[in-house]
C-alpha cells in the first residue's frame, strides 16, 4: 500500500517534490513508461556497433517501412529509444543539430560522449524544474570515436552508462539474460545482429516478424550509418549460431 499512500499525500503531483523516503515519484513513473516501450538492443562489436529494435507494428494496414525506430545523428553516430518516441524525437533532433554545430565550429566529427551528455543535461533539467515533466524515454546512443565502438544508455533521470551490450524496453529482463550469456568481446556485427534477432524472436514469440524489425550498424572501417535490409535481417536470423 506504500505507493497508494504516496499518491494520497500528493508526493507524485510535482516533479520537484521528494517523497519522505527520498524518491522523485514522477521520475520513477517515467522509468515505468520506458519498461512498457518496445524493445531496443545495442551491441558494441569488435568491428562496429549495431542496433536491432522492435518497431511494434500491430496494425496490418501500417506501411512498415514508414515506421522508424533507429535514427542517424551523424555519419558515425546513431540512436534508438524506448518509451514515448515523440519525446525521443525531440532529443534526437537536438542531438542532430549539436552534431552539425560541432562540425561547422570545429571542423571535426563530434564525440559520441558529447552527444550523450547533451541529451542527459536536458533530461536532468526536467527532473528539477517546476511545471515540466520528465522525458518518458530511454535513449541508446552508439557511435565510432576514432576506431573505438561506443555504446551508451541514458535514462529519464539524466544519468548515463557505457555498455558493451544493453537492452531497453519491455523485453529488457529476458534479453539481458541472453546478452549476458552469449556476448563476448570478439563478437562481430554479423554475429551481434544474429544474436539480437534471436533474442527479439524469443521475447516476442508468435508476434515476431521481419516486418517488425528495424536494424542498423556503423562499422569501424567506414564510419557510416547504414540500415540493414530485410534480406540482411532474414539471412542473419537463419544463420547458425557460431560454435565456441
The per-residue DSSP string of 29-75 comes to: HHHHHHHTSPPEEEEEETTEEEEEEE-----TTS-GGG---EEEEET
Instruction: Count helices and strands (H / E) in the chain.
Output: 7, 10
- CA 175 to centroid of chain Cα atoms: 13
SS3 content of the chain, % helix, strand, coil (to 5): 40, 25, 35
Distance CA 92, CA 141 (A): 10
Burial status of residue 211 (CB atoms within 10 A of its CB: 0-12, 13-18, 19 or more): middle
Can you read off the three cell numbers belonging to residue 14? 510535482
Q: What 3-state class would DSSP assign to 140? A: strand
Q: How far is CA 218 from CA 74, 108, 139, in A?
A: 11, 18, 17
Q: Indicate the pTM of the whole model.
A: 0.92
pLDDT in tens, 109-127: 999 999 999 999 999 999 9
**What is residue 222's predicted lDDT score, i.e. its pLDDT?**
95
Q: Which domains does the chain have, with CATH numbers?
A: 23-234 (3.60.20.10)
Vertex 238 angle, CA 234 and 240, to 5°: 145
- Whether 3 shows a pLDDT value over 70: the answer reads no
Tens digit of each residue's pLDDT (9 = 90 or more) over 7-29? 546 778 888 888 888 888 899 99
Count how many Cα atoms sit within 13 Å of the Cα of residue 203 in the half-sphere of its side chain. 28
What is the grid cell recorded at 111? 564525440
Categorize the per-residue pLDDT at 240 as very low, low, confident or very high, splitting at 50, 70 and 90. Answer: low
Amino acid at each position: 500500500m506504500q505507493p497508494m499512500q504516496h499518491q494520497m499525500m500528493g508526493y507524485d503531483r510535482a516533479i520537484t517534490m521528494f517523497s519522505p523516503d527520498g524518491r522523485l515519484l514522477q521520475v520513477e513513473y517515467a522509468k515505468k513508461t520506458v519498461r512498457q516501450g518496445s524493445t531496443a538492443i545495442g551491441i558494441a562489436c569488435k568491428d562496429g556497433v549495431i542496433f536491432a529494435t522492435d518497431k511494434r507494428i500491430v496494425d496490418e494496414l501500417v506501411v512498415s517501412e514508414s515506421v522508424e525506430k533507429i535514427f542517424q545523428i551523424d555519419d558515425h553516430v546513431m540512436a534508438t529509444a524506448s518509451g514515448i518516441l515523440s519525446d525521443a524525437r525531440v532529443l534526437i533532433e537536438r542531438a542532430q543539430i549539436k552534431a552539425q554545430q560541432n562540425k561547422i565550429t570545429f571542423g571535426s566529427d563530434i564525440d559520441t560522449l558529447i552527444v550523450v551528455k547533451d541529451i542527459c543535461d536536458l533530461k536532468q533539467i526536467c527532473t528539477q524544474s517546476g511545471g515540466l515533466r520528465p522525458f518518458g524515454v530511454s535513449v541508446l546512443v552508439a557511435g565510432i570515436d576514432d576506431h573505438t565502438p561506443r555504446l551508451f544508455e541514458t535514462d529519464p533521470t539524466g544519468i548515463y552508462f557505457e555498455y558493451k551490450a544493453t537492452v531497453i524496453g519491455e523485453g529488457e529482463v529476458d534479453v539481458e539474460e541472453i546478452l549476458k550469456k552469449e556476448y563476448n568481446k570478439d563478437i562481430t556485427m554479423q554475429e551481434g545482429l544474429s544474436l539480437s534477432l534471436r533474442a527479439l524472436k524469443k521475447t516476442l514469440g508468435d508476434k515476431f516478424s521481419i516486418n517488425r524489425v528495424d536494424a542498423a550498424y556503423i562499422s569501424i572501417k567506414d564510419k557510416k550509418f547504414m540500415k540493414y535490409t530485410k534480406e540482411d535481417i532474414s539471412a542473419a536470423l537463419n544463420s547458425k549460431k557460431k560454435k565456441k
